[in-house]
Chain A
Amino acid sequence: MEKSDVRSLYLLAAFLVCAYSLPFLIGIQFGTVRADEQWFAYLATVVFAGILQGGVYAMFAVGLTLIFGVMRIINAAHGEMVMMGAYLTWVAFFYLGVDPLLALVFTLPIAFLLGVALQKVLLNAVVGQPELTALLVTFGLGLTMIYVAELIFTTDFRTIPYAPQTVQVTRTIAVGQNKLISFVMAVSISAAVYLFLKFSRLGKAIRATALNAEVAMVCGINVQRIYLVTTGIAVALAVAGGALVSIQFGFNPETGVVYTLQAFAIVILGGRGHYVGALIGGLMLAVLENLVSLMIPNGTAAVELAAYGLMIFVLLIRPGGLMGVKEA
């Protein structure tokens, strides 16, 4: 490791310590921090809920990092794909009466095919072009998706009432059943994708393409097909993320932007194209967000700042993120 590399890692660590203590300091300022037993129970609950939520974040962020790793495309429409997943689940639940988790059985294949189509129609043309072209194209795609969704579903907030009971995890910690279920699903799906990438032939080919597309091509890997599969998986992950988000939080067409920025923040924190980094980044962001919402009065607006702040500072301090991707 180079000297500057080590230094930036320390800086990042220092920044993260500050970022996590900031909500506490503000909380002390506003008197929301009380060092009594009840407050500590809240704190424990919030951190635990953050970890559960982080699993879901990590899962959809993996989709973003996968596309970036393989094709060097920054998908600015990723959050809109999450939003699409939420609406698919909502439609299945309210109009077809299908259980949100059962709905994944057919929404995921649909998402995969949509991803393949997207790759064929739009993204293949921008692979290898300047990163900004791909960013603009996907940004335009995201906008189109938002407004199409508004046309169909209006801007009203939707929620899916699903498993709302709370579960007593320990004596002090109680969380919603839906959160636990989401976490378990997210971890299972992430693990499945991880195992697929690690051990299957196709997964190995995807990783090889991410390392070096030209070499992969010379080794007889059909890179075009890898691109299709990658985008398919990425969109499926986003849609799965949407399904799991939809049973916990309200959503409308415009919430996609928030998911995009969260996914960016996670990917940048973890290190672009880095799978394990995305998992760590997801947990870290979600815990921070929950701390902010606990400590800061009027916290819902401020929660969004967590993702932006994290993203911008990490970009400035250590653009490669925790896992140190080498790039300017």
Chain B
Amino acid sequence: MGPVTAADIALDIRDLRKAFGGVRAVDGCTLAFPRGKISGLIGPNGSGKTTTFNLLTGVAMPDSGQIFYKGEDLAGMKPYQVFRRGITRTFQVTRVFREMTVLENMLCVTALNVSERVARARAYELIDFVSLTRLRGEYAGRLSYGQQKLLEFARALMTDPEVILLDEPAAGVNRTLLQDLLAHIHGLQERGKTIVIVEHDMNVIMNHCARIFVMDYGVKIAEGPPAEIQKDERVIEAYFGRRRG
């Protein structure tokens, strides 16, 4: 894979910073996620991956820096504003709406200008897509953890977003379900979606991502295709050289 040009970039993050008290969680991070590809964002615990996702989706306010998407700076926008521009995410620990049914979980995430009938059709289709058809009328809180992950994933797709950020999709999901989930992710990529995965399971990252970004201490320390990253001295050092809890 050659160098990435500006036109191929979906999300262009420049010099992003965020400190919590004295801790600089993200400390001048510059990342460019390629359009229509699956990217992996990895790094040791506490390296700033989830904070980066939070900054991208408006959940946290960056102290400084820019996030360009389609020529617009997303930094400082409210979460719902970011969402309406076509960027969606899932959470490390699932956040389904527990006392709402599976169908209701899906229906609350419809674009404002879509009619109820269209929204319903889309919800049914996606519920089938993640094989939760039989559980449509069940409370989301009563689903197994893996099923909740699938629901959250399906819910994120309701508005047919351009960019999908997945925070540890494999955690707590059994092997069979994980294979399904990965197949779905590849299906999305083939339809031209941009996908970014934060994941600790290196098999998932190395086998499924086109490009990998490595963070440590809030900055990007390496970037490249899996084969390169696996050999990269800095990455190995970050993971094994001075590992921290």
User: Is there direct touching of A and B in the complex, by C-beta distance under 8 Å?
Assistant: yes
Binding site for B on A (CB under 8 A): 1-2
Residue B93 is within 8 A (CB to CB) of chain A in the complex:
no
Residue B236 is within 8 A (CB to CB) of chain A in the complex:
no
Residue B240 is within 8 A (CB to CB) of chain A in the complex:
no
Whole-angstrom CA separation of A1 from B20 in the bound complex:
9
Q: B6-26 CB contact bits vs A (8 Å, 1 = yes)? A: 000000000000011100000
Interfacial chain A residues near B21, Cβ < 8 Å: 1-2
Whole-angstrom CA separation of A2 from B19 in the bound complex:
8
Measured CB to CB, the nearest residue on chain B to A2 is B21
B175 smallest CB distance to A (angstroms): 32
Interfacial chain B residues near A2, Cβ < 8 Å: 19-21
Question: Which residues of chain B from 17 to 41 have any CB-CB distance to chain A below 8 Å in the complex?
Answer: 19-21
Interfacial chain A residues near B20, Cβ < 8 Å: 2
Q: B187-224 CB contact bits vs A (8 Å, 1 = yes)? A: 00000000000000000000000000000000000000
Measured CB to CB, the nearest residue on chain A to B61 is A4
Interfacial chain B residues near A1, Cβ < 8 Å: 21
Please count the residue pairs between chain A and chain B whose beta carbons lie under 8 angstroms apart in the complex: 4
Whole-angstrom CA separation of A2 from B21 in the bound complex:
5
B86 smallest CB distance to A (angstroms): 28
Measured CB to CB, the nearest residue on chain A to B19 is A2
Binding site for A on B (CB under 8 A): 19-21
Instruction: Identify the 4 closest CB pairs spanning chains A and B, nearest first.
Output: A2-B21, A2-B19, A2-B20, A1-B21
Whole-angstrom CA separation of A98 from B20 in the bound complex:
57
A157 smallest CB distance to B (angstroms): 46
Whole-angstrom CA separation of A1 from B21 in the bound complex:
6
A328 smallest CB distance to B (angstroms): 12
Cβ contacts A to B, 4 pairs, < 8 Å: A1-B21, A2-B19, A2-B20, A2-B21
Whole-angstrom CA separation of A110 from B12 in the bound complex:
67
A4 smallest CB distance to B (angstroms): 9
Whole-angstrom CA separation of A200 from B176 in the bound complex:
56
Measured CB to CB, the nearest residue on chain A to B63 is A3
Whole-angstrom CA separation of A2 from B24 in the bound complex:
11
B191 smallest CB distance to A (angstroms): 38
B239 smallest CB distance to A (angstroms): 29
Whole-angstrom CA separation of A99 from B57 in the bound complex:
65
B33 smallest CB distance to A (angstroms): 29
Whole-angstrom CA separation of A199 from B20 in the bound complex:
33
Measured CB to CB, the nearest residue on chain B to A3 is B63
Whole-angstrom CA separation of A2 from B20 in the bound complex:
7
A84 smallest CB distance to B (angstroms): 37
Whole-angstrom CA separation of A1 from B22 in the bound complex:
7
B60 smallest CB distance to A (angstroms): 12
A5 smallest CB distance to B (angstroms): 8
A30 smallest CB distance to B (angstroms): 45
Whole-angstrom CA separation of A251 from B21 in the bound complex:
46
Whole-angstrom CA separation of A54 from B20 in the bound complex:
36
Whole-angstrom CA separation of A1 from B19 in the bound complex:
11
Whole-angstrom CA separation of A162 from B132 in the bound complex:
72
Interfacial chain A residues near B19, Cβ < 8 Å: 2
A127 smallest CB distance to B (angstroms): 21
Measured CB to CB, the nearest residue on chain B to A1 is B21
Measured CB to CB, the nearest residue on chain B to A326 is B21
Whole-angstrom CA separation of A2 from B60 in the bound complex:
14
Measured CB to CB, the nearest residue on chain A to B20 is A2
Whole-angstrom CA separation of A96 from B146 in the bound complex:
67
Whole-angstrom CA separation of A156 from B39 in the bound complex:
73
B84 smallest CB distance to A (angstroms): 24
Measured CB to CB, the nearest residue on chain B to A4 is B61
Measured CB to CB, the nearest residue on chain A to B21 is A2
